[in-house]
Structure 1
Amino acid sequence: MTTEKREIDWATMLIPFGIVIAMMAVFMIAPESSKSVVDTMRGFFGDTIGIYYPLIAIGAVLCSLYIALTPKYGNVKLGNTDKPAYSNFKWGTMIFTSTMAADIMFYSLIEWALYGGEQHVHELGGTQMWAPTFTLFHWGPLAWGFYVILAVCFAFMIHVRQRQRQRFSEACRPLLGDKVDGFWGKVIDVTAIFAIVCATATTFSLATPLLTNAMGSVFGFEPTTAITILVLLLICAVYTITVLFGISGISKLAGICSYLFFAILLYFLFLGGETGYIIETGFQSFGNMIQNFIGLSTYMDPLRENGFAQNWTVYYWAYWLVWCVATPFFIAIISKGRTIRNVVWGSFGWGLAGTYLSFIILGNYGLAQQMKHGVDAIGHIGAGGEMYEAILMIFDTLPLPWLALILLTITMIAFYSTTLDGITYVTSSYSYKQIAPDEEPSRKIRGFWSIMLILLPIALLFAQNSLYSLQGVTIIAAFPVGILLILIVISFFKDFKSWSRQK
């Protein structure tokens, strides 16, 4: 690569960095005021114009299916190579572990209990039927559709069109033309990076305290904010070391992470004594979701009788949207040698398989303790108790709970590290004005982004924001990403049409 091609785009690096530092200062100096502003903005984006998010979610899935089922799109091979860059197993495990942060462990263990106290769930028919149904719905096809459609657009841009700039602005070039080289391109890229910083901050702020509580329970110390920050720094060290080894290091860690993940699933499924209940409830809730899928997808509670759609469904679609900035790029990069159809079905298949296994096994074990054995996690949270305490209540019902907690801790750290490796790799590519599809960003740049992604979570932990406020940060950041997604999809179809004519 020439010096010109390797030139760093300082604006794209330093502007988001400045925004993050400013937000850190605000959250740490004026936590109550910042919380009030975030909650107000969440009310507008999540409630007043909340229908914006499910419309994009439905559109992304329909568009992905159309591309996969249409031969002229689906048969296109990504790159001039005889075989895929990675085996199906390696590819699939990287898709799942590098797109699902440790929050999947957190939500799998407790999300059913958060729904169990909702009025809407009881109106529909109760916790047993609907709490596990909503977990599968909110982590199902509509959620993965965001990743899949953008992965296709980016893969086509990188491997077929051989573009030398791996960023959101470049994906908009077929539609916006040379404008992406100027002011508007900077706006697009800064917005994208800011969104992914918000996504990682929300994930860390929600799930890391569970790590601290789990370790405190095993080793007998009192969980504090300071200890949680030390855990964050430990995770930062692990994923920084891994990302310095590039894609090969990420691939190896993804394999380790998948084995740890299966180990904890088997622990819950076969040692917890609720194997039959877990499988039957999962089977039932999956069928219930399929049967009611269209109604669930379009439910908006226009009279605001319970607020469920705004508090949960809108939040989840926004949550997946902000993660779209990095994870689809990573899926695209590792999909060289595959067809577009393979990327669509493979991403949906591997992603949904891992996600549903987690929610069915971990979630339904906790639900069994609530419904059959009197472990009142729903009541504990409803009375103002911490979600992390409710999770520990569930772990206490397992044989050798300390061993299960250690396994949970190691698995969550591996999930964090694998996901943040993928994100760091992609955001590092943003730092260059041009970079070839097969070229890795420098270690210094990867190290910079590894540290930057840990800053805002620390500020949010100091501010001790509520779940509602953390969700608000995500919903706000997701709004412009939704607009960019639409622009990128339109650009893909326009670019594909131009490419087809040139063949």
Structure 2
Amino acid sequence: MLMFLLFVGVSRYGDIKLGDVDTKPEFKTSSWAAMLFTSGIGTGILYWGVIEWAYYYQGPPFGLEPGSKEAIQWASTYGFFHWGPIAWAMFAIPALPIGYMFFVRKTNVFKISEACRPVLGKHTDGFLGRLVDILFMFGLLGGGGTGLALSAPIISEGLNHLVGLPNNIMTKSIILFGCTLIFGLSAYSGLQKGIRVLSDINLWLAFALLIFIFSVGPTTFMTESTVTSLGRMMDNFFSMSTWAEPFNDLGLFERSGFPEGWTVFYWAWWIVYAPFVGLFIARISKGRTIRQVVFGTVLFGSLGTVLFFGILGNYSMYLELSGQYPVIETLNNQGAPAAIIGTLTQLPLSTFAIIVFVVLAIIFLSTTYDSGSYVIASVVQKHVEGEPLRWNRLFWALALSVLPMIFMYLGGLKTLQTISIIGGFPLLVILPILGWSFIKMANEDKEKRLKKKKDEAA
């Protein structure tokens, strides 16, 4: 998918504009990048950005010894890989046919099935088309729960540290309800007044926190570790992408479970979100070229994750390696939320940093799910003139939170992760169809234009 996307970006398809020739971008670049990043990443980056390296350090790839020097080097690299270009390529592919249908062909149907019409043909209006849309919605509702389940414990742990609120299931439920009200109101307000404003606030607040940690923390270590890890990732990109532990099943090596436990799971998670994020990227990209959409999504998205993992993750790693704070011990004994908040307590003005972190977690959650409810509302509405109906957007904002809350009571995070993988499996077929549909549409329209010119010349 990444190779296909890069081909589209550098080819003649990249010149295609989403809109008429004189159409200007609907949003300025900073707001566009902010909405793009916050809709696609969510609170998960606050959770895993701080703590993911610790899991890799204890269970490293390539059969390395846990806790070794080699393990720590790869631990600081894999976050950039899992959250990098491949993830954002999956998000960008659905945006191409959907944006083309909506802004070039002027179709007022904003659905995954409609974007598959060039391949599905007449079946789009029948059972197969409905099945595609239902699978997309099921995947988003299931996969979205994982993000919600990651967000609530962080916010709850932060509030417990700040004001002494009990860190239990009731507090987490109240937090989810409060966040639902925020992103429900944002979705109800629409793109310009709601989602764009929240995304802008989120972007600048995140930058402020990252700059603060980068300034008061081990700046040299964070810089050198980030640069070194990026170099290692680029040097080993294909081996990291295709490593599957084939000889371990023969008993030649001890099986680590790393590829399926991390890389494959992450890809399943991105696939679940891909149609939703792609729909949203398409909706906010009016007036931009396909090339801008392709490289803007991959570059802005990857750059954002590099900043979070490079600063939050490397700061947390520095505390562990220097003996200033037992991150791994806290993680293993008290859980990830406690280790994350504990890491922040080591900062100067730690109370201020934790407040900003908790607010960021709430807004990240809200910007992801208000865009999610906006997109689902567009999918279930037969025709979309401008924006989907307000009551429709509000309904799906509530639905996005209620179902994951039930799952959280039933089985916690592992249940939600399983649901997200089940929901993502059918989308493995849908994503290539979306890419194929874009190429077919662009070629068909080019042939029509050439034929029209020939007829006019004749």
| Contact persistence 1:116–1:378 (CA under 8 A) | no
Show the counterpart of 2:383. 434
| Contact persistence 1:115–1:121 (CA under 8 A) | no
Note closer, same or farther for the CA distance 1:126–1:377 as it changes in structure 2 (3 Å cut): farther
Q: Tell me the TM-score normalised to structure 2 length.
A: 0.92
1:309 and 1:244 map into 2 onto residues whose CA distance is: 41
Show the counterpart of 1:236. 180
Using the TM superposition, give the Cα deviation of residue 355 of structure 1 relative to its aligned residue in structure 2, in angstroms.
Answer: 1.3
**Amino acid of the structure 2 residue aligned with 1:339:** T
What are the within-5 Å matches in structure 2 for residues 382-461 of structure 1? 382=332, 384-436=333-385, 439-461=386-408
Using the TM superposition, give the Cα deviation of residue 69 of structure 1 relative to its aligned residue in structure 2, in angstroms.
Answer: 1.0
What are the within-5 Å matches in structure 2 for residues 117-156 of structure 1? 117-120=58-61, 123=64, 126-156=70-100
Q: Tell me the TM-score normalised to structure 1 length.
A: 0.84
| Contact persistence 1:121–1:130 (CA under 8 A) | no
Q: Could you list the per-position Cα deviations for residues 242-290 of structure 1 after superposition, in whole angstroms to 9, with x for gaps in the alignment?
A: 111111021111111111111111221112x311111111111111101
| Contact persistence 2:43–2:151 (CA under 8 A) | yes
What are the within-5 Å matches in structure 2 for residues 93-242 of structure 1? 93-120=34-61, 123=64, 126-242=70-186
| Contact persistence 1:205–1:460 (CA under 8 A) | no
**Amino acid of the structure 2 residue aligned with 1:480:** P
Q: Could you list the per-position Cα deviations for residues 148-181 of structure 1 after superposition, in whole angstroms to 9, with x for gaps in the alignment?
A: 1221221112111222211111111111112111
What are the within-5 Å matches in structure 2 for residues 29-428 of structure 1? 60-71=1-12, 73-80=13-20, 81-120=22-61, 123=64, 126-248=70-192, 249-271=194-216, 273-302=217-246, 303-304=248-249, 305-382=255-332, 384-428=333-377
**Amino acid of the structure 2 residue aligned with 1:82:** T
**Amino acid of the structure 2 residue aligned with 1:393:** G
1:345 and 1:294 map into 2 onto residues whose CA distance is: 20
| Contact persistence 2:92–2:293 (CA under 8 A) | yes
Does residue 479 (structure 1) correspond to residue 428 (structure 2)? The answer is no
Show the counterpart of 1:462. 409
Moved over 6 A (4+): none
2:164 and 2:98 map into 1 onto residues whose CA distance is: 47
1:255 and 1:380 map into 2 onto residues whose CA distance is: 34
Q: Give the 3-state SS of the residue equivalent to 2:425 in structure 1.
A: helix
Q: Could you list the per-position Cα deviations for residues 114-172 of structure 1 after superposition, in whole angstroms to 9, with x for gaps in the alignment?
A: 21110426718534311110000000111111011221221112111222211111111
**Root mean square deviation of aligned Cα:** 1.5
Using the TM superposition, give the Cα deviation of residue 378 of structure 1 relative to its aligned residue in structure 2, in angstroms.
Answer: 2.3
**Amino acid of the structure 1 residue aligned with 2:270:** W
Q: Give the 3-state SS of the residue equivalent to 1:120 in structure 2.
A: coil
Aligned residue pair count: 438
Q: Give the 3-state SS of the residue equivalent to 1:126 in structure 2.
A: helix
2:443 and 2:214 map into 1 onto residues whose CA distance is: 49
**Amino acid of the structure 1 residue aligned with 2:322:** K
**Amino acid of the structure 2 residue aligned with 1:247:** L
Q: Give unpaired runs (5+ residues) of structure 1.
A: 1-59
**Amino acid of the structure 2 residue aligned with 1:101:** G
Does residue 494 (structure 1) correspond to residue 440 (structure 2)? The answer is yes
1:466 and 1:498 map into 2 onto residues whose CA distance is: 45
Q: Which moved more, 1:485-494 or 1:231-240?
A: 485-494
